[in-house]
Amino acid sequence: MGLSKSVSMPSPVSPKLSPGNSNSYTSSVSSSSGGTSSVTIPQRIHQMAASYVQVTSNFLYATEIWDQAEQLCKEQSEFFTELDKVSGPLVFNASTMTELVRYTRQGLHWLRLDAKLKH
């Protein structure tokens, strides 16, 4: 199956998708000669691609937050060194949610105590 050189491929960033029926989406492709052609994408494939984009977006956001947290740890190393001694260090992709909650609660407890002492 070949493509004519005059047909341009749709941009993966902004394809023109429209529901063709309940089971598929139709993508219109403009050619340099002024005509258009359509490609039908099964709804299941479209949903899987959208899900993949969402998961990837969430992962990128999580790694950005983790990077910010690492920077804060460097800036406040004494606080986090003590917190690591008491709660155990957190490890990206290895610490459990329970460990994360315990660590966070202990850190917040110390911050509240510190705030009370300053007032």
Q: What is the pLDDT of residue 49?
A: 94
Q: 88 lies in a domain?
A: yes
N-term to C-term CA, the chain? 75
List of residues 6+ apart from 46 with CB closer than 8 A: 17, 24, 25
Q: What is the pLDDT of residue 4?
A: 38
Torsion sign (Cα): 34, 40, 43, 44: negative
Quote the number of domains for the chain. 2
Q: 69 lies in a domain?
A: no
Q: 89 lies in a domain?
A: yes
Q: Which residue reads 């105590």 in tokens?
A: 113
> Per residue of the chain (119 residues), what is the pLDDT tens digit?
444 333 344 444 444 555 555 566 666 667 677 777 888 888 999 999 999 999 999 999 999 998 998 899 899 999 999 999 999 998 878 999 999 999 999 999 999 999 999 87
Q: What is the pLDDT of residue 118?
A: 86
Q: 68 lies in a domain?
A: no
Domain extent, residue 36, equals 17-42
Q: 70 lies in a domain?
A: no
List of residues 6+ apart from 31 with CB closer than 8 A: 4, 6, 7, 8, 37
